[in-house]
Amino acid sequence: MNIAGIGVVGTTGRGVASLEAALNRGWTAPGLVDIRGSAGERLPVYAVPPEVLSDKTVLAKARRADRFTRMSVLAAWDALQDSGLAASVDRTRLGVIVATALGPHATTFGFLDGILDFGDAAVSPTAFSHSVHNAAASYIAMTLDVRGPTLTLTHFDFAFHEAVSLARTWLAANRCDAVLVGAVDELGSVMQFVCGRMLRPAADGRIKPFDFSVKPESVPGEGSVFFMLTRDNAGAAYGRLGAVSRDHSAVRSTGQSVQLLDACGLAKNETAYRTALMPGTLTAGYAPLFGSVMTGSAFHAAIAALMLKRQYRYAVPVAENPHGLDLCLETGAAVVDQVFCTRLDCAGRRGTLHLSAVR
Amino acid sequence: MQPVDRDQELVGIRAKLKELLVSNLNIEGITPDQIKDDDPLFGEGLGLDSLDAVEIVVILQRHFGVEVKDMEKGREIFRSVNTLANYVYDTKQGQK
């Protein structure tokens, strides 16, 4: 599949340019939030600034939309615009797949809180209608006038990988001419509580993607990344998004390659990490820029696409390297043929997205 | 003394209603103090719609303990912040 366009909404702002600026800028300290229900405990987080989500033009029909949906709609919109295909793509042949690990859980819990606090007769109808996982995909379809298949795919560990596989199937089966595939996850108060209590927040605010500790440090993040994917023969703005592998059997590292490692804060198996490393490739990881996100592979896929398009490498924002990996330490022009985006889940299972340059 | 108490209490109810409308209905680009007491809430006024009407029913129930059971009556009650506040005040007085 070709990556024809990308839309990004994250703590670094909105749009591919904001992501690229963050990559060039390097590590920035996260914000701090109070953990709800705690005795003044604070948690480092990479949250999306409210002003990023206040586009009155794109969100004109989304007054009631929650943060989860707003992030999704804006990233999907931007991916379509970025592709240059907004005017020409047949909307009846355009599909949407929204991947998420946790869905709109802030709204879901808000809805449940409403029942607990006020009884089932006084529950907000808006909270109810937005608490379903498919709300964001519906808003995207409505805002972009998408008439093709629309689906929300929930998977705790590999939501984005599964979504990419499905998009590939839709294109191969000629069900669509293009698919907007994206990932979104939000950082609600429930998530903050869970991260603060169950995980190990990074005391210095730095995620360390190359420290394969049994208790990895995390800084929760949120955001949305969408890709406008077309068939291989439809021209390519960024590069090709090829195989999705669970065991690396379908991918081979050739030429100048970079492997990007997710750091969601759950994977804690040094052996699994070492097995997942691809020989002969530079290693990088940019979670310190956007946070520990279950759908972090989508952010990494966007960064990989930028590397392939620009023929450029970005220095890792946090370079602590206790295992002596061959890290990408310099920013600048470089030949980049392939990028592998690898994610490990808490059981040590892995999933890898394979992106390649179009020559 | 009751009219003065009534007026004072209505001022408070109206202010609270305006804040709740803006925050709970996600009305963007408008602050509570920009809503006039007699502005129509629906149609050409604030531009609210039928789903907002149900949300207002929930707001009244949650924050004022007041129910709106007769939706025919609701047309008049939901006309403006003033009519809403009067309904809240009168209903609460009736509950005492």
CATH (domain of A146): 3.40.47.10
In 3D space, the residue among A170, A191, A188 whose CA is nearest the CA of residue A179 turns out to be A170
Could you give the domains of chain B?
Answer: 2-95 (1.10.1200.10)
What is the mean pLDDT, run by run of 10 residues, along chain A of 359 residues?
96 96 96 83 92 92 93 98 95 97 92 90 88 93 97 94 96 96 92 83 92 86 97 83 74 80 84 86 95 91 97 96 93 95 89 91
pLDDT at A280: 84
Shortest alpha-carbon distance between residue B70 and chain A (Å): 15
Note whether B61 contacts A121, CB cutoff 8 Å: yes
Are A160 and A342 in contact, with CB atoms under 8 Å apart?
A: no
B contacts of A63 (beta carbons < 8 Å): 25-28
Tell me the count of A-B CB pairs closer than 8 A. 29
Comparing CB atoms, the residue among A122, A125, A126 nearest residue B61 is A122
Are A74 and A15 in contact, with CB atoms under 8 Å apart?
A: no
Q: Look up the domain containing A246 and give its range.
A: 2-356
pTM: 0.92
Note whether A64 contacts B51, CB cutoff 8 Å: yes
pLDDT in tens, B71-93: 778 888 999 999 999 999 999 88
A contacts of B68 (beta carbons < 8 Å): none
Cα–Cα dist A245/A257, whole Å: 16
Report how many domains make up chain A: 1
Are A75 and A228 in contact, with CB atoms under 8 Å apart?
A: no
Are A344 and A273 in contact, with CB atoms under 8 Å apart?
A: yes
Is the CB of residue B22 less than 8 Å away from at least one CB of chain A? no
